Amino acid sequence: MKPGLGTLGLRLLTGLCLGLLAVLLLLPVIALILRVPSGELFTRLGDPIVRQALVLSLEASLSATVIVILLGLPAAYLLATRDFPGKRVVEVLADLPMVLPPTVSGLALLLAFGRVGLLGHSLGLLGISLPFTTAAVVVAQAFMAAPFFLAPVRAGFAAVESRYREVAATLGASERYTFFHVLLPLSWRALVAGTAMSAARALGEFGATITFAGNLPGVTQTMPLAVYLELQNDLEAAVALSVLLLCVSFGLLLALRSARLGARFL
């Protein structure tokens, strides 16, 4: 066989793969955008169901992201800088929600915080009932989003050479001072990445939310849930919601990429 033929065959095959991949990944997005009735996107935003879902989604995912950052930063720091027995297991557990089917996560959340769950009874005594409330939405989203923050931030912290922390210590800096003035600035790209990824994950959460929090309009019905519901009775509303979600997700990914490319130092 001539060598040229082989190269040509390889090129054709590569082209075919690329084409199929484009059809698989791009066509659905294009189809979605094409279905938006011109000029109706903003009218649809006035629809109470759509507006409620939009507001709830933004509120819940923002809260979930803030919670994930606040609880995740110290954990990521300890995992990146300390050695302790069972660290491997903790790391795997922290990654678990990433691979767990969301409905399974929802069920697990119910069994932990539900009325008959492990903590449910104690919470009930305090007058708190989590399931089927907006708080449950936040909990479900935070549960699903946490690993998407922990993993990159932990890696980012670990990638900062320990030499910098050591020099800071010899210069008289406390561990806290070094964390805020050396570690955070040197791993800001990992922080942006983790925040964007977990926010996107929280925003798109469906399975755990519907299992743990239900689908109550205005209380627990986030945008992905509304899309699913509207699919049964109003396709146009579902499309409008979907395009909105698409725009937000696209914006988050774009922010992520600019953060990666914005390499002013290092």
Partner 1 sequence: MLDCRLVVRREGFTLEAAFLVAAGETLVLAGESGAGKSTLLRALAGLYDPAAGHIAVDGVRWFDRAAGISLAPDRRSVGWVPQDLALFPHLPVLDNVAFGLRARGERGSRARARAREALARVGVADLAARRPGQLSGGQQQRVALARALAGEPRLLLLDEPLSALDLPTRRAVRGELRRLLAELPCTTVLVTHNAVEALLFGDRIAVLEGGRIAQEGNRDELLRRPRSGYVAEFMGVNLLRGQLRGHGGDGLAEVLTADGPVIVAAPANVEGEIFVAVSPREITLYREAPVGSARNLYRGPVLEMVPEPPFGERVRVVLGTHPRLVADVTREAAVELGLTEGDEVYASFKATGTVTYP
Q: Tell me if 262 contacts partner 1 by CB under 8 A.
A: no
Q: What is the secondary structure of 227-238 as a DSSP string?
A: HHHHHHH-HHHH
For residues 164 and 141, give the distance between their C-alpha atoms in angstroms, rounded to a whole number.
35
Window contacting partner 1 (CB under 8 A); options: 8-16, 84-92, 126-134, 178-186: 178-186
For residues 244 and 156, give the distance between their C-alpha atoms in angstroms, rounded to a whole number.
31
Residue 212 CA to its chain's centroid (Å): 18
Q: Tell me if 82 contacts partner 1 by CB under 8 A.
A: no
Q: Tell me if 168 contacts partner 1 by CB under 8 A.
A: yes
Q: Tell me if 161 contacts partner 1 by CB under 8 A.
A: yes
Site for partner 1 in 196-255 (CB under 8 A): none
Window contacting partner 1 (CB under 8 A); options: 35-43, 75-83, 90-98, 158-166: 158-166
User: What's at 56, amino acid-wise?
Assistant: L
Tokens of 115: 């009325």
Q: Tell me if 172 contacts partner 1 by CB under 8 A.
A: yes
**Cβ distance to partner 1 smaller for residue 109 or 168:** 168
Options 170, 232, 233, 261; binder of partner 1; rule CB under 8 A: 170
CB of 266 to partner 1, least distance (A): 6
Distances (CA, A) of 134 to 21, 53, 74, 201, 236: 38, 12, 26, 17, 26
State the DSSP H helix or E strand holding residue 87, giving kind and residue range, or none if neither: helix 87-99
Q: Which of 265, 238, 214 shows the shortest CA–CA distance to 40?
A: 238
Window contacting partner 1 (CB under 8 A); options: 31-39, 70-78, 170-178, 220-228: 170-178
Q: Tell me if 28 contacts partner 1 by CB under 8 A.
A: no
**Cβ distance to partner 1 smaller for residue 111 or 182:** 182
Q: Tell me if 263 contacts partner 1 by CB under 8 A.
A: no
Window contacting partner 1 (CB under 8 A); options: 19-27, 104-112, 148-156, 160-168: 160-168
**Cβ distance to partner 1 smaller for residue 186 or 238:** 186
**Furthest-apart CA pair in the chain: how many Å?**
80
For residues 50 and 202, give the distance between their C-alpha atoms in angstroms, rounded to a whole number.
18
For residues 5 and 228, give the distance between their C-alpha atoms in angstroms, rounded to a whole number.
50
Distances (CA, A) of 169 to 12, 49, 76, 176, 178: 59, 55, 20, 10, 8
Q: Between vectors from CA 168 to CA 164 and to CA 169, what angle results, nearest 5°?
A: 120
Binding track, positions 93-132, relative to partner 1; x by CB under 8 A: ----------------------------------------
Options 100, 107, 112, 173; binder of partner 1; rule CB under 8 A: 173
CB of 88 to partner 1, least distance (A): 23
Which residues of the shown chain bind partner 1 in the complex (CB under 8 A)? Answer: 161, 163-164, 166-174, 177-178, 181-182, 185-186, 265-266
